[in-house]
Amino acid sequence: MKPSKLITRLAAACLVLGLGAGAARAEVSEVRIAEQFGIGYLPLQMMRDKALLEKHAKRLGLGEVKVSWSRFASGAAMNDALLSGNLDFASGGVGPLLTIWDKTKGNLDVKGVAAINSMPLYLVTRNPKVKSIRDLTEQDKIALPAVKVSIQARTLQMAAEKEFGAGKHEMLDKLTVSMRHPDGVAAMLSGQGEITGHLTSPPFQQQLLQDPNMRRILSSYDVLGGKSTFNTIWATSKFRSENPKTYQAFVAALRESMEMINADKSAASDVFIRTTKSKLDPEFVRKIVLDDENEFTTTPRNTTKYAEFMHRVGALKNKPASWKDYFFPEIHDLPGS
């Protein structure tokens, strides 16, 4: 073969190889995931601790994928980051998921990837005069992650409607204050200041209830009529369609994370302590993870009750026909609600 032809063929081969490498790396090389505070995010913490997304990305031929983790104080803040293109997977309560699904329907089409738990949310008070939400007055201020839009805020609105009647769902909104979970705990335990109530989640509500001056006056399980999803994960349809293998790797990693947690919850509680650098007593954390009230599952539960309520009070323009409208198809085989 003439040298000129050999060079031409080698150049063509290099071009093909170059195109092949480019095609293999067409998906994102970095995945940005955010969590919030609390034991509810243990599936993501397990995923991070065991590098499960990196493992499944390699298995699917994506090579080395960088995974960046961040922490937000509320789902509303995550939605802003997702819409601005600074986040790939957001996590938080059902309320923020429904809000962004409704807001982006027909454009970015944000939907849920999966649920990550079923957990009750408690409203805890330090005011000895308050026995139920009916006893709350202007002198009571309730800390929660984000007023009006967080899952805690929506749960309180649903409780108010049940207690005071239709059209009264916002009756307690004026008593709520946006505050990070750890800050709400500190404010309650100080015994000072305006915060007399905290509508929070594990482990924060259990921390409060260790104090004999605190008591629970509301559980989201009572409001929803049974076990219900607290936290979910969501992403844009654009990310899912442009990065199908990366998305597939994320779902596989999440499923493996769930399997690992449910296979050994005692060991999983150590992951929470390690990844969050928690100063909590390990046995205290272990009891919460092992509590039958708290389940780690990808199956959405009672989410449609939030959707129906939010649509009825005008918080959602679009009314979903079922939970499958706001979750991607990968989990449609589950017995969700």
d(CA 311, CA 332): 22
Q: Which of 192, 150, 147, 196 is nearest to 172 (CA)?
A: 147
pLDDT at residue 1, rounded to an integer = 52
Task: Select the CATH number that applies to the domain covering 122-224 from these four: 3.40.50.2000, 1.10.260.40, 3.40.630.30, 3.40.190.10.
Answer: 3.40.190.10
Q: Which residues pair with 67 in a beta bridge?
A: 31
Sign for the CA dihedral angle at 248, 254, 260, 263 comes to negative
Looking at domain 27-119+229-331, which CATH architecture does it have?
3-Layer(aba) Sandwich (3.40)
pLDDT at residue 315, rounded to an integer = 96
Q: How does pLDDT run across 90-138, given as a tens digit for each residue? A: 999 999 999 999 999 999 999 999 999 999 999 999 999 999 999 999 9
- Yes or no: say if 53 and 249 are a contact pair by the CB < 8 Å rule: yes
- Yes or no: say if 245 and 27 are a contact pair by the CB < 8 Å rule: yes
pLDDT at residue 3, rounded to an integer = 46
Q: How does pLDDT run across 179-200, given as a tens digit for each residue? A: 999 999 999 999 889 999 999 9
Please state the domain extents for the chain. 27-119+229-331, 122-224
- Yes or no: say if 90 and 81 are a contact pair by the CB < 8 Å rule: yes
- Yes or no: say if 305 and 155 are a contact pair by the CB < 8 Å rule: no
The answer on pLDDT for 60 being more than 50 is: yes
- Yes or no: say if 191 and 162 are a contact pair by the CB < 8 Å rule: no
d(CA 158, CA 176): 14
